[in-house]
């Protein structure tokens, strides 16, 4: 009924009991039944191997994290989203033996990210990729300069020209204005960045960090509010896309 497999791994230092779980999005069983089963299994493992490290990991989907922690008395050690904006893939441990957690792009064909838990020196992400994207930074000062310039701008066309020629001329004028007041900038996005990190958000985060280092705390705080709003908006957009795909 439940897709939960337990494996005992024996090492020189200690025994590790690993539980691998898959909880489907629309299970045929009640969630409470699975939580009861997990609780019984963890209690049985702890009684049989009192000195062992217990690890419960897998795709938990919508299984409430607080309920798992309450039933097992284990610690959740994954604090980053693993699919879109959702933390579906989790690791629970009976003892805090892992000092570092990395969420990286999976090497397999999956829209879930992989979670690596380890102890020791920081690891370099082997399959990390970087992409340079173009974006246009926007600020109240840029808007003010643009509107001030537009108030004195006079655009006229030769009526003897055909519509396409005049349209092309207008398009070129608009593009020149855009490039002048909102010039394109480059920024690097990596595969380890969360989905809500857009080029604009990453640029704002970098600027916020520069302001903090310069001691301009109030400006950094105001920018942080903008970033928070942009992240909420991006997460809401991702959620709507997920719901649309489910309905389709």
Domain ranges of the chain: 3-118, 129-133+186-248, 138-182
Fold of 3-118: Deoxyribonuclease I; Chain A (3.60.10)
Residue 25 CA to residue 91 CA, distance in Å, equals 18
> Look-up: residue for tokens 């991006």?
234
Binned average pLDDT, 10 residues per bin, the chain of 248 residues: 93 89 92 94 92 94 91 89 87 87 77 83 70 88 93 89 93 94 91 80 88 88 86 78 64
Paired tokens of 65: 């994290």
What pTM value is reported for the model?
Answer: 0.55
């Amino acid at each position: 009924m439940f897709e939960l497999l337990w494996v005992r791994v024996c090492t020189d230092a200690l025994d590790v009991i690993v539980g691998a779980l898959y909880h489907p999005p629309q299970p045929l069983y009640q969630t409470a039944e699975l939580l009861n089963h997990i609780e019984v299994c963890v209690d049985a493992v702890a009684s049989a191997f009192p000195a062992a490290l217990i690890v419960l990991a897998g795709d938990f989907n919508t299984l409430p994290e607080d309920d798992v922690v309450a039933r097992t008395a284990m610690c959740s050690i994954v604090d980053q989203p693993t699919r879109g904006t959702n933390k579906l893939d989790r690791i629970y441990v009976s003892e805090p033996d892992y000092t570092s957690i990395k969420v990286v792009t999976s090497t397999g064909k999956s829209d879930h990210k992989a979670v690596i838990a380890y102890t020791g020196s920081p690891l370099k992400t082997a399959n990390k990729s970087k992409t340079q994207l173009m974006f246009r930074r926007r600020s109240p000062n840029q808007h003010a300069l643009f509107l001030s310039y537009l108030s004195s701008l006079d655009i006229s066309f030769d009526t003897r020209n055909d519509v396409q020629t005049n349209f092309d001329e207008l398009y070129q004028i608009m593009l020149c204005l855009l490039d002048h007041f909102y010039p394109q900038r480059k920024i690097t996005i990596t595969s380890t960045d969360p989905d809500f990190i857009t080029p604009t958000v990453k640029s704002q985060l970098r600027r916020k960090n520069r302001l903090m280092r310069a001691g301009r705390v109030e400006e950094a705080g105001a920018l942080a509010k903008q970033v928070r709003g942009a992240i909420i908006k991006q997460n809401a957009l991702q959620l709507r896309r997920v719901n649309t795909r489910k309905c389709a």
